[in-house]
Amino acid sequence: MWIFTQDGYISVVQHFNPTPGAELLMRSRSGGHLYDLLCLVITEEEADARVLVTEDHDYPYRVLVSREFFAEVVAASMARLDYSNFKNRCAETLGRADARVLGEIWAATHDFTHNEDLKVMTDLKDRVKGRGPFEDEGGV
C-alpha cells in the first residue's frame, strides 16, 4: 500500500515473516517522511530506536509495526486533514521538490481513467446535481 500524506510518502506491506506485533513493514525512501509520520504517535527517541536504515533496499528507512500501531499512524494523520488542496499543502509541509513529484504522480493517475469510467462519472454527476458540489473547493 502506498500512502501519501502532508508528512510524506510511505509504502506499507505485510512482512515476509510476520510475528505478533511486527506484522507490517512501514518503509520510506526519505527518513524524514517516515519519522514525521511515526512521530505523530511516538517520540523521536522511540522512532530512532525502532527505525532500521539499510542501503541495500529501494526503501532504506524501515520499521516493523503491528497492524494496530499502523492504524494509529493513519488515524493521527487523518485527524490533521484540514486543507482543501493536497498538492498545495504538501508544497508547504514537504517543500516544492516533493510537491513537484506528487504533481507528477497526480498526472500519472490520469492513466487509471478509461473512457467508460468517464461516462459512469458523468452519469453520476448528473444524478447528484442539486445535492451539493461534486468537486471540492480545491478543484481536484
Is residue 15 situated within a structural domain? yes
- CA dist 2 and 28 (Å) reads 10
| 53-62, 109-118, 126-135 — most confident range | 53-62
Q: Which domain holds residue 19?
A: 2-82
For 32, residues 6+ apart whose C-beta sits below 8 A from its C-beta are: 8
Is residue 115 situated within a structural domain? no
* pLDDT tens per residue across span 69-126: 999 999 999 999 999 999 999 999 999 999 999 999 998 887 777 656 666 777 767 7
Residue pair 51/34 in contact (Cβ under 8 Å)? The answer is: yes
Query: Taking Cα atoms as reference points, which of 113, 93, 91 lies closest to residue 102?
Result: 91
Is residue 114 situated within a structural domain? no
Residue pair 46/85 in contact (Cβ under 8 Å)? The answer is: no
Structural domain count, the chain: 1
Residue pair 27/34 in contact (Cβ under 8 Å)? The answer is: yes
